[in-house]
Structure 1
């Protein structure tokens, strides 16, 4: 288990943290280079010739992109027949490549990409590039529920649902046909484009949804339908800031192109930087900040600065309790509750809807800002709280509500270490430089 450090610089003043993959990776960081040590991963590398196709495939399970690079990180890969000047830049990386890979490939058994989709811009003119992808083959879960039945999706403790595909309709003539007349099962091209399952279940440890026209709409009248869901269970985690620095602590970090006098003061630190990081990022899966937020004053005029953050990713249990029920929060022995987010209201139309009229579940913009759960449960090993208007107030009358709580289990003295992603350095430009 390890904690990690991120750096940012002025070439891109926006910074992003994400909490993911802590059960898959360990990382080390040296001068901004991240070295991935995958516990169990596949890898594909394709040289950037115009006709080449990048192929990812899983014999079992579905693709889950862990990391990727379009550019060049060493002088050996795809070097055949290339002059030295085309291999010289080994710090070449196309922004957004991993996002493209995830969008195109996650959740599929096989994925083919034309290299042209990555040539939206050129991160290093004159350098011969390649596409390098690290991915795992995750077990997939397929759930079927006949019309008017309930579909139950669930994951192991510490993981959450990620829906890859869902359809309420009919794609064959053999599923859910018991005692049904032939006329109701003949249409096997009955498809839906609803995102009800994704909206209701993504990010939850378990989820229940009814396979009904009331939830999904009637995509093909007269056909007896079924709900089919393909999902995986992903590691769940949130950011916990351990330390940070805005300033300069050594002369090597972010020194490229800077004169010695801008690197001389290695005792430069902006007061309050860690507090800003904690207030903006703790408890979130992803955190994006403008580095200008740290330039409220100048701790060392004339010195070129950077922002460095050490953080871990912690498992985050999620509890849901329907209105007038009890929510139970608990941690293992020796740990205490640290509530990250809570809401008493309604944020979807599929949670806690059993035997409720549609008028009571239509308002899915019902949110509250109460700190009742935090005040009642933080610092305790276990906690019970009632999801009721008498406790939280009524943020939207006439709506049947539920309580959602996301919390961490924290050591009494300090947070537990957990694995996390690392991003490349970005250094901050000091005022006036």
Structure 2
């Protein structure tokens, strides 16, 4: 979408948004009311910096509009940002609809547009030579593994001091690496990885291998809910993990519209019971509704107009693959397992194929609809559970096919 030339006379809102964009090197998109557009970061992930559905200038989305529809340049909607972050953050792309039905109408009679500033966060790469260890660290963000392989695909990585015959094979692939690494790392701020056959098995005997991991660090999201209002945290298919929460006031800029000075003066209004309450309502759920009110959180500072400030992560599910005839353990430490999906069968031609003839891996439409119920019964609510990928446990959904047990789960 083309950028429009800005007028020399900029409103305060436009100046703030412009300064934000210039300081972060972010991408800007304007979507006129009634239209749709897609934010796309390719292999990177979206991190929304700011968003507003309203109007802050008289140059954007004005074609064919009468003056009275573009006159109001102070049309701000503070709920836009948390809504857009919930729809887009951590995804490689997201579709947005600039409409009152999505964002409500902040200024009746004004022709609005959705203004979004966002960064594309490129994935990071780590190579761990066989026999060594390393830690993926995302600070306050959470890890989301994009791809992983324990093997060898080139002759330049981890070659120091190695004879030629140990680095000759550059087609050494291990399809079970990705689900194993995601189960160990996804949703954590850091995780330690050991590049060894004991962890990943040996996909190519005699080759000196390395663990190659590509991952993103997904920043936490922030939502502010003004006193007396409600909002929903939404993580799509991921699970909510609350980082911090406070019902009170710590600044004089949030939720101040129409409020007298004495109601926003106190910026040291803290409520230590907010965090455990919000975590109990939201953690482990894909979405949760929150009501910013004294009846829920009590009143930490009488006479001050408060807001509920929540910082949270969306944690992608972990995955585990267990080849037929083998066993594995799902482990959530002190958290509890919540199975999202599971299938004992085969849906691709690359997983658990080593040493198998084509006739045993050709059927990629082998589904067992009772798997989810069985795995959930064995694992949900436990901190760990052992699973055996066998016909005796799940029955045989496709005779003659070499199967595997695929499980997607979260730790809550």
When normalised by structure 2's length, the TM-score is 0.42
With a CA cutoff of 8 Å and minimum separation of 6, indicate the structure with the bigger relative contact order: 1
Q: Which has the higher strand share?
A: 1
